[in-house]
Amino acid sequence: MMRERIRVRGQVQGVGFRPFVYRLAGEAGLNGWVRNDSHGVLLEVQGDPAVIGKLAERLFSEAPPLARIDHLERCPVPLQGEQGGFTIHESERGAADTAVTPDAATCPACLAELFDPADRRYQYPFTNCTHCGPRYTITRAIPYDRSNTTMAAFPLCETCGREYRDPLDRRFHAQPNACPVCGPSLELYDAAGCRQNGDPIAATLARLKRGDVVAIKGLGGFHLACNARDREAVARLRCRKGREAKPLAVMAANAESLAGCVEWTEAEKALLTGSERPIVLLRKRSNTDSELAGCAPGVGWLGAMLPCTPIHYLLFHEAAGRPVDGAWLQAPWELLLVMTSANPGGEPLVIDNDEALRRLSGIADAWLMHDRPIAVRCDDSVMRVDAGGPAFIRRARGFTPQAISLPHTGPSTLAVGGYFKNTVCLTRGSEAFVSQHIGQLDSPANRDFLAEVVDHLCDVLRIRPEQVVHDRHDDLPGSQWAADYINRTGVKRVEVQHHHAHIAAVAAEHGVADRPLLGLALDGVGAGDDGTAWGGELLRVEAGGYRRFGHLSTLPLPGGDRAAREPWRMGAAVLHRLGRGEAIPARFEASAAGPIAEMLQRDVNCPETSSMGRWFDAAAGLLGVCPVMNYEGEAPMLLEGLAERHGAVAPLSDGFRLESGTLDLLPLLAELADIGDAGFGAALFHATLAEGLAAWAAAAADAEGIAEIVFGGGCFLNRTLSTGLRERLSDTGLRVLEARRLPPNDGGLSLGQAWVAIQQATVKERSDAGDRRT
Amino acid sequence: LTHGSGGRAMAQLIDELFLKAFDNPLLRQLNDQAAFDVPAGRMVMATDSHVVTPLFFPGGDIGSLAVHGTVNDVAMSGARPLYLAAGFILEEGFPLGDLKRIVESMAAAAEEAGVAIVTGDTKVVEQGKGDGVFINTTGFGVVPPGIDISGNRARPGDRILVNGTLGDHGVAIMSQRENLSFGTGIESDSVALHGLVAAMVETVPNLHCLRDPTRGGLAATLNELAQQSAVGMRIEESSLPLREGVRGACEFLGLDPLYVANEGKLVAICAAEDAEPLLEAMREHPLGREAAIIGEVQEDPNHFVQMQTAFGGMRMVDWISGEQLPRIC
Ligand SMILES: [Fe+3]
Ligand SMILES: [Mg+2]
Ligand SMILES: [Zn+2]
Ligand SMILES: [Zn+2]
């Protein structure tokens, strides 16, 4: 007989962990108690040592679906008499009580009830339990309990209340627990805001089938949906949303329903079906563009996701003819729905019902809405899988507010990111909380959203930042917002260089604190320390500082930022650099070709940049692939698609020059300038680029005596490039660290900024302490 | 032009040049200062140093600019400008012919504006220590009683007006300096605005704000006013007056016309009910024919300046600190 105290850390609150422990202890006949506290879950068990050992094992092996155990600690404590079985202690209402977890897709047990005509929750669109359902997006404040969520307006009925209070029930303390008697309800509205009679699911499906665009209220915001197989409906949605060419994501009942249009691997299927339910980029088949015309034109990938709430499941269930047994969930179905975020004009997602009617008027034909408010905007996450595993393109729903563990603690830090694809990061001890995707900060609404996210995160995490970090570029909205915040609050200001932050973000998630790393930042532009625009950098990163080892040779940006939207301008810049400027006017059709040639010749508003992204644009421009971009990243995405379709080619010999730390790609671009076959050109560009970058990085690794290299920056979203480079560098014996828990692009910038600032603060602390000692 | 003690004859030559060109009774007294009577009202003073490359550009030169710039700064208080003082810093070796041209143009601009250049000073610096010529001008004027125009008077609901097309000056200067063929035909808008201001104040004595959007363009001016008045502003892209040539040149150059300098433009802010009469008064004046109501003042704790784009979205009109350093990552 012995007694043990067990401490469990990780994502163990609000996920049914205490009832799980209660059940295990009961089954094992152990006495004791379990409770939540500010560190996670704490339990004491008394009984046979072997039985206790077995229980500790089962805590790991049978943990509830949404739980994640980071750390488990056991220590013996004195035996206690008078054991009255095992009890769940109410949490102490103290600091950081019950943590908020990410939203999760409907679990199998809830699905079974949803489609069981005999169940009291048959076809109830708000079915959830401790293992699934809304979390972060309904949470207004902590502690996480019903009164602090948007479920506060729905008092539990007697039956739901019983479930809620029964430790052996799947719905024990499930805050959003609901049923048709007491919970929210679903309604369909027309453009006039009139509620439609009849079954809202059936009516919505009918509208989708006849080509309507329907706004559907999801977890973190509204989607705009239409029939993905209806070419005209897709075109209509694009036209109304003002989204000409950017790929649209598609929702299917299950992976099997996607098999006809895209290929998926087991790893991709696992990601698709995971409870986070991200959009996963899947390789298109040759027939994808004819089957799903207009969904993802030109690019090699289709973004796909599976239903994340009962509402979405019910639409597919309806389309399948309301089958009564669960087999339909694994069968392929014809219906595929375009599901695109309802964020007109690039502004924040629509979350409110009235707002939806207003902001989506003229875009949607009907609104499928309910009366459970969304407290927090949270867009869909977007991911893909490569040889190194899953990677983010956008991190939001299903993942925020999950913490990323930093290698060590530091002052509470708020990092505000940059400009595009913005996120913010808040740290508490050694935990870093990166916000959901906020988006482009060029609209006032998105800046308000940023402020809203900072406030909300500070509230629910109970953080008071001691320092605020922003990009070195003073004219980025993030920097301006930070300056304002600092003025208001008087907290310490830290500036971090853009590409340093990109590398630091990846170093942070890999837990590297104590050794120098080589960082390869391949990116758009970011302000460099010398006042020029960087973006293709090799950095030696160490202890919160860095040194610029080398960079890509520079190209002029004719017209500054304008050149980043018009790849033909970068093509012209290369011709100019090659001494072939006189060919510019004849080569490019744009009426601006003459003026641009003149600007290049006279060096008027042609700032130089070492940006990798602009070299991609230049290649696209010279190959005539995408003279002007419709959306950010279009040119490199099309280029990658072309290279993939063409297949691998050998790198161009002498395609690059390496000189004193600088990688010059001009010889490669000179070749591209005279290649007529865009597919071959794209393949040659990717192959030679990987070769050149690998040679460059290997030389730097050698010179610095560092065997670990970090990939950071938006260009690593390019799978062909990152795969090619990873393979080459691994072959030379280098260890490659990549962004896996955040996107490599500016979506991860805030984490890197925070980590640099924390390192600087702790380095300073240590040296101050050293000074005092001596 | 020579410099140093040997330049006595030269100094005299310059003095004569100025005296002749700017001739007026006060200057003729040859004192180190000008003394004059002041009419009733509040006195206004403004100073501006003018540095521009090239010195001569389509639509003007540094001389006329030095008059217009300071006259306009005085006029933006609603004042009638009366006198100017001028300080010249000349670089050794600067061609006398060019100086003569500049001084004469300055005299003509002053005459046209009805202000007298009543005192001045000249220094010559060594070669390489100047850029041909710098001109500082200080202006004096008087605000009629009852006028209270100030950057902190914008109120939510007020309307924002401009008197004409944006960006002409900046684009003209750039085209000339860089010898760009596609900018030819664009002239600087450099002009003295106090006549227009007088007409505006007469129609709407309760004008709230006036400012000339010079360096940093309309964007900088609106942000300044928003900060000063602790309000937000919202303008409409489709209502901004823009010359086709300027629009095109800005597109090539990757410049945003909102940030390009003007030298003959003003931003006016007035109560909503005064907007239409004010617009009419402006349009009746030769310098306000293309005047437009471009937006309105709104409540905003962030003091944002935002623009409804031609596509219907809202965009921030940021306060940019310096050059338009690339920002697209
Ligand atoms: Fe970046
Ligand atoms: Mg001025
Ligand atoms: Zn469930
Ligand atoms: Zn109920």
Q: How many domains does chain A have?
A: 4
Please say if the pLDDT value at position A13 is more than 90: no
Q: Residue A95 — very low, low, confident or very high, per pLDDT cuts 50/70/90?
A: very low
> Which residues in chain A touch residue B328, judged by CB atoms under 8 angstroms apart?
419-420, 524-525, 561, 564-565
- pLDDT score of A326: 86
Verify whether the Cβ–Cβ distance B318 to A609 is below 8 Å. no
- pLDDT score of A541: 97
**For A536-554, what is each residue's pLDDT tens digit?**
999 999 999 999 999 999 9
A372 noted as active-site residue: no
Q: Residue B148: how many CB atoms within 10 A of its CB?
A: 14
A97 assigned to some structural domain:
no
Q: CA B159, CA B270: separation in Å to the nearest integer?
A: 6
Q: What's A731's DSSP letter? A: H
Find the residue in B nearest to A591 (Cα). B252
Q: What is the CA radius of gyration of chain A?
A: 27
Annotate A385-441 with DSSP letters as a single string: EETTEEEEEE--TTTTT-EEE-SS--S-EEE---SSSB--EEEETTEEEEPPP-B-T
Verify whether the Cβ–Cβ distance A473 to B182 is below 8 Å. no
For the ranges A364-378, A677-691, A705-719, B10-24, the lowest mean pLDDT is seen at B10-24
> Which residues are registered as beta bridge partners of A439?
A422
**Phi, psi torsion values for A428, nearest 5 degrees:** -140, 110
Q: CA A29, CA A54: separation in Å to the nearest integer?
A: 12
Q: Could you tell me the two tokens for A200?
A: 């809202």
Q: Residue A654 — very low, low, confident or very high, per pLDDT cuts 50/70/90?
A: very high
Please check whether residues A732 and A755 belong to one and the same domain: no
Q: Which of B304, B312, B325 sits opposite A533 (nearest CB)?
A: B325
Domains of chain B (ranges, CATH numbers):
5-143 (3.30.1330.10), 159-316 (3.90.650.10)
Annotate A178-241 with DSSP letters as a single string: --TTTS--EEEEETTSPBPPS-HHHHHHHHHHTT--EEEE-SSSEEEEEETT-HHHHHHHHHHH
Please say if the pLDDT value at position A632 is more than 50: yes
- pLDDT score of B4: 53
Q: CA A411, CA A264: separation in Å to the nearest integer?
A: 43
A433 assigned to some structural domain:
yes
Please say if the pLDDT value at position A369 is more than 90: yes
Please say if the pLDDT value at position A36 is more than 90: no
**For A37-47, what is each residue's pLDDT tens digit?**
878 899 999 99
Q: CA A88, CA A91: separation in Å to the nearest integer?
A: 9
Find the residue in A nearest to B179 (Cα). A602
CA–centroid distance, A113 to ligand 3, in Å, is 9
Please say if the pLDDT value at position A479 is more than 70: yes
Residue with tokens 């919202």: B234
A106 assigned to some structural domain:
no
Q: Residue A676: how many CB atoms within 10 A of its CB?
A: 8
Q: Residue B320 — very low, low, confident or very high, per pLDDT cuts 50/70/90?
A: confident
Please check whether residues A595 and A720 belong to one and the same domain: yes
Mean local confidence (pLDDT), A311-334: 95
**For A555-592, what is each residue's pLDDT tens digit?**
999 999 999 999 999 999 999 999 999 999 999 976 88
Q: Which of A419, A535, A602 sits opposite B179 (nearest CB)?
A: A602
Closest CA to A117 of A326, A269, A284: A326
Q: Residue B182 — very low, low, confident or very high, per pLDDT cuts 50/70/90?
A: confident
Verify whether the Cβ–Cβ distance A599 to B253 is below 8 Å. yes
Q: Residue B160: how many CB atoms within 10 A of its CB?
A: 26
B142 vs A326, more confident: B142
Please check whether residues A697 and A551 belong to one and the same domain: yes
Please check whether residues A261 and A378 belong to one and the same domain: yes
Please check whether residues A645 and A710 belong to one and the same domain: yes
Q: How many CB pairs under 8 A join A and B?
A: 120
Q: Residue B2 — very low, low, confident or very high, per pLDDT cuts 50/70/90?
A: low
Please check whether residues A613 and A546 belong to one and the same domain: yes
Please check whether residues A703 and A591 belong to one and the same domain: yes
Verify whether the Cβ–Cβ distance B254 to A419 is below 8 Å. no
Please say if the pLDDT value at position A773 is more than 80: no
CA–centroid distance, A508 to ligand 4, in Å, is 44
Please check whether residues A482 and A582 belong to one and the same domain: no
Mean local confidence (pLDDT), A366-374: 98
Mean local confidence (pLDDT), B223-235: 98
Q: What is the mean pLDDT of chain A?
A: 94
Q: Residue A93 — very low, low, confident or very high, per pLDDT cuts 50/70/90?
A: low
CA–centroid distance, B50 to ligand 2, in Å, is 9
3-class secondary structure, A134: coil
Measured CA distances, A496 to A74, A504, A759, B206 (Å) = 41, 10, 12, 48
A227 noted as active-site residue: no
A703 assigned to some structural domain:
yes
In the listed set A69, A88, A107, which residue is the last one of a domain according to the structure? A88
Q: CA A58, CA A569: separation in Å to the nearest integer?
A: 61
Mean local confidence (pLDDT), A201-228: 98
Please say if the pLDDT value at position A30 is more than 90: yes
Q: Which of B249, B254, B314 sits opposite A443 (nearest CB)?
A: B314
- pLDDT score of B328: 82
- pLDDT score of A513: 92
A507 assigned to some structural domain:
no
User: CB-based contact (8 Å) between B256 and chain A?
Assistant: no
Q: Pick the catalytic residue: A3, A5, A7, A18?
A: A18
Question: Domain containing A286 — which CATH number?
Answer: 3.90.870.40
Amino acid in position A534: W
Q: Could you tell me the two tokens for A392?
A: 């983010």
Q: CA B90, CA B100: separation in Å to the nearest integer?
A: 12
**For B206-217, what is each residue's pLDDT tens digit?**
999 999 999 999
Please check whether residues A429 and A544 belong to one and the same domain: no
For this complex, say whether ipTM is above 0.90.
yes
Instruction: List the Cα angle B149/B154/B156 in 5-degree steps.
Output: 155
In the listed set A41, A58, A88, which residue is the last one of a domain according to the structure? A88
Please check whether residues A379 and A409 belong to one and the same domain: no
Q: Residue A345 — very low, low, confident or very high, per pLDDT cuts 50/70/90?
A: confident
Question: Domain containing A687 — which CATH number?
Answer: 3.30.420.40
Q: CA A332, CA B147: separation in Å to the nearest integer?
A: 77
- pLDDT score of A92: 60
Mean local confidence (pLDDT), A98-111: 90
Residue with tokens 């080398």: A550
- Contact of B81 with B140, CB cutoff 8 Å: yes
Residue with tokens 């393979």: A727
Residue with tokens 């003095």: B15
Q: What is the mean pLDDT of chain B?
A: 93
Please check whether residues A462 and A537 belong to one and the same domain: no
- pLDDT score of B1: 67
Please say if the pLDDT value at position A399 is more than 90: yes
User: CB-based contact (8 Å) between B244 and chain A?
Assistant: no
Q: CA A367, CA B179: separation in Å to the nearest integer?
A: 57
**For B48-69, what is each residue's pLDDT tens digit?**
999 999 999 999 999 999 999 9
A758 assigned to some structural domain:
yes
Q: CA B196, CA A126: separation in Å to the nearest integer?
A: 66
Count of residues for chain A? 774
A685 assigned to some structural domain:
yes
Range of the domain at A470: 401-496+743-767
- pLDDT score of A607: 95
Mean local confidence (pLDDT), A651-675: 96
Q: Residue A754 — very low, low, confident or very high, per pLDDT cuts 50/70/90?
A: very high
Closest CA to A223 of A398, A354, A380, A436: A380
Q: Residue A98 — very low, low, confident or very high, per pLDDT cuts 50/70/90?
A: low
Considering every ligand atom, which ligand is closest to the CA of A124?
Answer: 4
- pLDDT score of A771: 64
**For A595-614, what is each residue's pLDDT tens digit?**
999 999 999 999 999 999 99
- Pure H helices in A524-611: 567-577, 584-587, 593-602
Q: CA A432, CA A759: separation in Å to the nearest integer?
A: 13
For the ranges A123-132, A207-216, A687-696, B311-320, the lowest mean pLDDT is seen at B311-320
A177 assigned to some structural domain:
no
Q: Residue A458: how many CB atoms within 10 A of its CB?
A: 16
Please say if the pLDDT value at position A275 is more than 70: yes
Q: Residue A62 — very low, low, confident or very high, per pLDDT cuts 50/70/90?
A: very high
Find the residue in A nearest to B324 (Cα). A560
Mean local confidence (pLDDT), A712-724: 96
Please say if the pLDDT value at position A82 is more than 80: no
Q: Pick the catalytic residue: A3, A31, A36, A446?
A: A36
**Pairing of the two strands A608-609 and A545-552:** unpaired
Please say if the pLDDT value at position A770 is more than 90: no
Q: Could you tell me the two tokens for A684?
A: 């040659």
Closest CA to A496 of A392, A573, A376, A414: A414
Please check whether residues A535 and A486 belong to one and the same domain: no
Q: Residue A765 — very low, low, confident or very high, per pLDDT cuts 50/70/90?
A: confident
**For A220-263, what is each residue's pLDDT tens digit?**
999 999 999 999 999 999 999 988 899 999 999 999 999 999 99
